A and B are shown apart, each in its own frame.
Chain A
């Protein structure tokens, strides 16, 4: 009993020291809050596939009522902004090439007459495919405007598709991206924090002083991991609150489940960070290793591109990536309102990563030769 009390009090002393050392420094204190705030706002406003003010040009060779009506409807959506009205087909290429216009809409000279006659009346939409996601969205938007016009003419196509996007009714890419930020932005910081924690002590010589105390490797591990986990969770919370109250993305699931997922995910991330830290002799080394790791972690996470679009071998590789399961858990709980049973499979790889990296780090504390 006494041994347990001693174990806990020693470990608490180490946790307290770690937090004190981190929070006493005004510059490192600012570093804990500012990046999370700034990056969340940046991503919220900056990173979007949504169409707003998409520039387009019109070449209206038919000059009839129908083409005017369709153009007016396109202008009226607020999504498109007409940047030019072209006079002949030779002007099209220049507009697209220069990037002035994302799309050019062409009404052929016989558009009006064919519309009046039975059969098709094609109009042409030329898109800048260099930006495939935005171009696709623009094409779909134009398509639905034309469909609406068709309907107003009383032309009923035999099958009409009625789209309902669940969990994100307006297809806002912010909804998709922002909840993922709760996991990915805070991971950047916790990984770095954990990676520097032991390396800093080795570099400054304080680690020897720590190793000659009666603290066991498991105590040092807990003492090093807990502060990083706490700070990671604080960061996640900041991002979560911004998303919920500033960007007003409605939260569908349980906050408890969200945090259970975040805690598990952060532990796995800290395990990786501490392992990096335990093999590094200097802070510079630790930082290099971390940067080397962050890119693949991000790319193989499903943050920007879905995991199932990746080649088979890379899909397998994503199983050791805690970020993949962190993001998935957060997205599903946040947007879908998934229950524990729904996301339970995500916890298995996360716990596996933690179960390997944390003991590895503890072992390396004493066995890394210097």
Chain B
């Protein structure tokens, strides 16, 4: 054996599309992946990670170049490779009507696992995934984190020589994500399994022995996390937020100066940032005037952002383009814009949201956080008037949107979780329709569409359905803001878009809040909670914590000191332990 599980040389895959032209998803890529290691493919959306994975698995044939997996030419003998690998695609094909056990049996049958080996293997898988209690439950009734774990268990019903995981943690909450990685780590440690995983989470890549940073079908950089990290060495700092101002104001100030600052994100109440290597000292001094800064150890995320930003420099900066115009400030009367009292929602005998109360003030950014199935989407839909509440009181801009007269809805904007505009209409046609639906007059409509197209740098004649992910999200934002709403509802707006686009997106949000727009947002990127004025953490329908990001971190005790992700895990786990004790008592 050569010690290589995958070796690719000048690999190219081109997708031809009559509307979009040729797309070089993988473009002359060469890499070698070592045996018995955990290897990560990281990169923004559309970097070619999934295409590469599918070629490894023999599900796609390369157009050019050579690819050997486990020493076999995949293009020529895909079946021989497939007999020895396990591949988990982004959406694993679980049979939702079959129980957990039946799914396992089915995949064992499909892979021809001998009956004699099954008992041990199943027991081990169920123990690792902590699902032994749920073997009779239909897969469709599991939360999405649990489904993902079951998907992994089904993938591993036999012992493969190579495990391929394509974005296993997309749409999975921090707790399930942690469990998933525990399982993978255990397999690598105990069985010396070779694993290739694609991910957009840097903390996951940090756990791997080898990391390949991909961009536009090529490898930008590779190496162990330690050596990649060094690229940002000496450039990483933390800036302390002046008292009495939100961290996001400082973050906005820093990120608006791409000539001096590569990246800035709020964390733990302060702002962590990366300096431009050649930043002009006096100007840097002006920018940071009166602000305490301290050096901090560099992380993989810093190096990743640097690499991406360097690529971005060649293209027009996406950030400046999405900076919003100021919105007219509505009068501040001090009354809460959203008032929720004892809100309950039941589906049959399942309580999705249990007695929830909170207020949101004007111009606030309010974040709803929680694991999958915690009830945050249900709460969100009730607020927007898309779902009736079972009981309780609910007021948005002084009304219950569900029963309010239609015009009350003109005061809110809504951005759905997945792209919810008309795909075969152009950008302009979509904006025209929604603008008219919101009752904008001919002139106002023309002006607002022009403003939105400029602000979000959209091509008005492009077909909406064919826009790349980040641009779809911009169009959704443009549609939500077209009628200058007082309140903007955003349901997981940043899932599935790359880190650069996320920075730009949050810059838009913080500017809107500054202009007096109230923002309600759900997210499962815990670090994004730092942009919010206040956050609420829900689990199993119950409100576990509510307050400013700092208050919530303090609530979590020492675990919360580091970052929001750990604070979140600590709060949800202690609440679950408490519930367990109550149930036992």
By a beta-carbon cutoff of 8 Å, the part of chain A in contact with chain B is: 6, 9-10, 12-14, 16-17, 20-21, 24-25, 204-206, 208-216, 366, 369-370
A selection of 28 A-B contacts at a CB cut-off of 8 Å is A9-B439, A10-B436, A13-B437, A14-B433, A14-B437, A17-B422, A17-B425, A17-B433, A20-B429, A21-B422, A24-B424, A205-B416, A206-B422, A208-B386, A209-B416, A209-B434, A211-B385, A211-B386, A212-B409, A213-B434, A213-B437, A213-B438, A214-B406, A214-B409, A214-B410, A214-B438, A215-B406, A369-B387
A-B contact count (CB 8 A): 77
> Which residues of chain B in 401-423 are interfacial with respect to chain A, using CB atoms and an 8 Å cutoff?
401-402, 406-410, 412, 414, 416-423
Of all chain B residues, the one with the shortest Cβ separation from A205 is B420
CA distance in complex: A213, B410 (Å):
6
In the complex, what residue of chain B is closest to A3 when comparing beta carbons? B407
Q: Chain B contacts of A13 at CB under 8 A? A: 432-433, 436-437
Interface assignment of B384: CB less than 8 Å from any CB of chain A: yes
CA distance A366 to B424 in the complex (A): 25
Chain A residues with Cβ below 8 Å from B437 are: 10, 13-14, 210, 213-215
Choice from B409, B419, B421, B432 contacting A213 with Cβ under 8 Å: B409
Say how far B448's CB is from chain A's closest CB, in angstroms. Answer: 14
B425 contacts which chain A residues (CB < 8 A)? 17, 20-21, 24
Is the beta-carbon distance between A16 and B433 smaller than 8 angstroms? Answer: yes
Assess the B386–A204 pair: CB atoms within 8 A: no
CB distance from A207 to the nearest CB of B (A): 8
Give Cα A302 to B401, complex, Å: 48
In the assembled complex, the CB of B38 is this many whole angstroms from the nearest CB of chain A, namely 36
CA gap between A13 and B432 in the complex, in Å: 8
B472 to chain A minimum Cβ distance, whole angstroms, is 12
Min CB–CB distance A263 → chain B (angstroms)? 26
Picked from A9, A212, A215, the residue with its CB within 8 Å of the CB of B414 is: A212
CA distance A209 to B418 in the complex (A): 11
8 further A-B contacts with Cβ under 8 Å, apart from A214-B406, A369-B387, are: A12-B436, A17-B433, A204-B420, A208-B414, A208-B420, A209-B416, A214-B439, A215-B437
Q: A14-B437, A213-B434, A214-B410 are in contact. Are A205 and B386 (CB under 8 A)?
A: no
B439 lies within 8 A of A6 (CB): yes
Contacts of A21 in B (CB 8 A): 422, 424-425
Note all chain B residues with C-beta closer than 8 A to A9. Answer: 436, 439
How many residues of chain B are within 8 Å of chain A by beta carbon? 33
The CA-CA distance from A21 to B414 in the complex, in Å, is 22
Please indicate the chain B residues that have their CB under 8 angstroms from the CB of A209 in the complex.
414, 416, 420-421, 434, 479
The residues of B that contact A25 with a CB separation of less than 8 Å are 424
Find out whether the CB atom of A204 lies under 8 angstroms from the CB atom of B432: no
User: Which residues from B are CB-within-8-Å of A17?
Assistant: 422, 425, 429, 433
Interface string of B428-472 (1 = CB under 8 A from A): 010011101111000000000000000000000000000000000
List residues of chain B with CB within 8 A of the CB of A206: 420-422
Q: Which residues of B contact A208 (CB under 8 A)?
A: 384, 386, 414, 416, 420
Residues of A within 8 A of B410 (CB): 213-214
Q: Are B418 and A205 in contact (CB under 8 A)?
A: yes
CB-defined contacts of B407 to chain A, threshold 8 Å: 214
For the complex of A and B, list the 5 residue pairs with the smallest distance between their C-beta atoms, beginning with the closest. Answer: A13-B436, A214-B406, A205-B420, A17-B433, A213-B437
Query: Hey, which chain B residues are within 8 Å of A16, CB to CB?
Result: 433
Residues of B within 8 A of A212 (CB): 384-386, 401, 409, 412, 414, 489
B411's nearest neighbour on chain A, judged by CB, is A214
C-alpha spacing A17/B432, complex, angstroms: 9
Nearest chain A residue, comparing its CB with the CB of B435: A13
**Nearest opposing residue in chain B for A17, CB measure:** B433
- Complex: chain A residue closest to B419, CB-CB: A205
Report A-chain residues with C-beta under 8 Å of the C-beta of B414: 208-209, 212
Q: Which residues of A contact B424 (CB under 8 A)?
A: 21, 24-25
Q: B418: which A residues are within 8 A, CB to CB?
A: 205
Residues of A within 8 A of B420 (CB): 204-206, 208-209
Which residues of the partner chain A approach B436 to less than 8 Å between Cβ atoms? Answer: 9-10, 12-13
CA–CA, A208 and B489, complex, Å: 12
A211 to B406 alpha-carbon distance, docked (Å): 10
Q: How far is the CB of A285 from chain B (nearest CB, A)?
A: 16
**Chain B residues closer than 8 Å to A20, beta-carbon distance:** 425, 429
What residues on B are CB-neighbors of A6 within 8 Å? Answer: 439
How near does chain B come to A93, taking the closest CB pair, in angstroms?
55
Known contacts A17-B422, A17-B433; is-contact A216 B439 (Cβ 8 Å): no
Would you give the shortest CB distance from B416 to chain A, in whole angstroms?
A: 6
Which chain A residue shows the least CB distance to B406? A214
Within 8 A of A (CB), among B354-401: 384-387, 401
Contact, CB under 8 Å: B416 / A204: no
Q: Which residues of B contact A12 (CB under 8 A)?
A: 436
Shortest Cβ distance from residue B36 to the other chain A in the assembled complex, whole angstroms: 43
User: In the complex, A192→B132 CA distance in Å?
Assistant: 46
In the complex the two chains form, what is the Cα distance from A9 to B436 in whole Å?
Answer: 7
Contact partner of A216 (CB less than 8 A), chosen from B387, B401, B406, is B406
Closest residue of chain A to B401, judged by CB? A212
Min distance, Cβ B189 to any Cβ of chain A, angstroms? 42
For A210, the chain B residues whose CB sits under 8 A away are 437
Nearest CB of chain B from residue A203's CB, rounded to whole Å: 11
- Among residues of B, the one whose C-beta sits closest to the C-beta of A9 is B436
